Structure 1
Amino acid sequence: MTQSSAAQIAADKAEIETLVADWRRAVEAKDADGLVRNYQDDTVLFDAIPPFQTVGKEAVRKIWQTVFPYFPDRFKSEHKDLTFHVDGDLAVVFGLHHFVPEPADHPCGATWMRITVCLHRVDGEWRVLHEHVSVPFDPMTGQAALTKDL
């Protein structure tokens, strides 16, 4: 892997920020096809919900189609504290994500989730190689540690 220039890293970061915004808009529109548009065919998702590991772009799309009916008609998708690391053809983004539902007490808005997304540049375009979503838990009780207000 070759080292990237500061200008190239900034351009890559801007491109990846656009992908994150496109993903957010697709989720809010309940558009499963748009949501996985930038995923590799063999992407792997480690999720906070069953089946916990999903392999393949098409399988991730189907997971979202399965869960969208449980979301309210209106909600926002929000990220916080996103950090971007880019080095050549690999990039990692991590931070926090949550849903802001209407009504506010809808279960999809119960907690902030931790996210990590690994991207790989293929034929000049960034693609999601791996995505990891988790919810903190209390090891003393085994219960999820919900973090609604950060």
Structure 2
Amino acid sequence: MSDLSITDPQQDEAEIRRLMKEWSAALEAKDVDALTKDYDPNAVLFDACPPYKTIGVAGIKQVWQNCLPYFPETFKSEHRDVQVHVDGNTAFVYGVHHFVPTPADHPCGMTWMRISVGYRRIAGEWKVVHEHVSIPFNPMNGQAWYITDPDDLEMPDYSAEAGTEGTEK
């Protein structure tokens, strides 16, 4: 049953931003339970790493448990350009995310990633129902196109990069 109470979009946006900060803190602590506490039991994750789709909190926890051992001991989780759109019991968030590792040259910090997160208010609480994380790719050579500067929004010349290994943008 949907929550029919009157809501304040600004208050809802602030709540979602608070949840995102808690998510980042849980990620930095490598606390998988805290990381997924605001996920709907049937949430769907389209991650930048295989598998292309994970359904359910147990699977999402497993993705993180498999991934986190490869992270450095310490790192920060940084979001930028985050936009939050709320309409009643549904919210959509997008922006970019970056790991800031120590040491700085750790591979987890090579690129910014695009993120989109869908929230639904369920029983008065915001829950993640869908999350999508991606890195663009060069369609001419299939290589990941790393986002090293999220302010650089220039359209690349794909044909000029067709033979380039490890393309960076």
Moved over 2 A (4+): none
Residue in 2 aligned with 1:142?
A: 142
Following superposition of structure 1 onto structure 2, how do residues 1-150 of structure 1 map, counting pairs within 5 Å?
8-150=8-150
Q: Deviations over 1:70-129 (max 9, x none)?
A: 000010000000001000000000000010001111010010000000000000000000
Q: What is the identity, as a one-letter code, of the residue corresponding to 1:122? A: I
Q: What is the identity, as a one-letter code, of the residue corresponding to 1:65? A: Q
- CA shift, 1:26, in A, is 0.4
Q: Report the number of matched residues.
A: 149
Percent of aligned positions with the same letter in both sequences?
54
* Contact 1:40 1:127 survives alignment (8 Å): yes
Q: What is the identity, as a one-letter code, of the residue corresponding to 1:8? A: D
For 2:51, what is the secondary structure of its paired residue? coil
Larger radius of gyration: 2
RMSD of the alignment, in Å? 1.8
- CA shift, 1:149, in A, is 2.7
Distance 1:115 1:81 in 2: 10
Q: What is the identity, as a one-letter code, of the residue corresponding to 1:56? A: G
For 2:8, what is the secondary structure of its paired residue? helix
Distance 2:102 2:52 in 1: 26
**Which of structures 1 and 2 has the larger relative contact order (alpha carbons within 8 angstroms, sep 6+)?**
1
- Any gaps of 5 or more consecutive residues in structure 2? 151-169
TM-score if structure 2 supplies the norm length?
0.84
Distance 2:52 2:106 in 1: 22
* Contact 1:118 1:131 survives alignment (8 Å): yes
Distance 1:11 1:81 in 2: 19
Distance 1:61 1:15 in 2: 23
Q: What is the identity, as a one-letter code, of the residue corresponding to 1:133? A: V
Distance 2:20 2:13 in 1: 10
Distance 1:132 1:149 in 2: 20
For 1:149, what is the secondary structure of its paired residue? coil
Q: What is the identity, as a one-letter code, of the residue corresponding to 1:78? A: E
TM-score if structure 1 supplies the norm length?
0.95
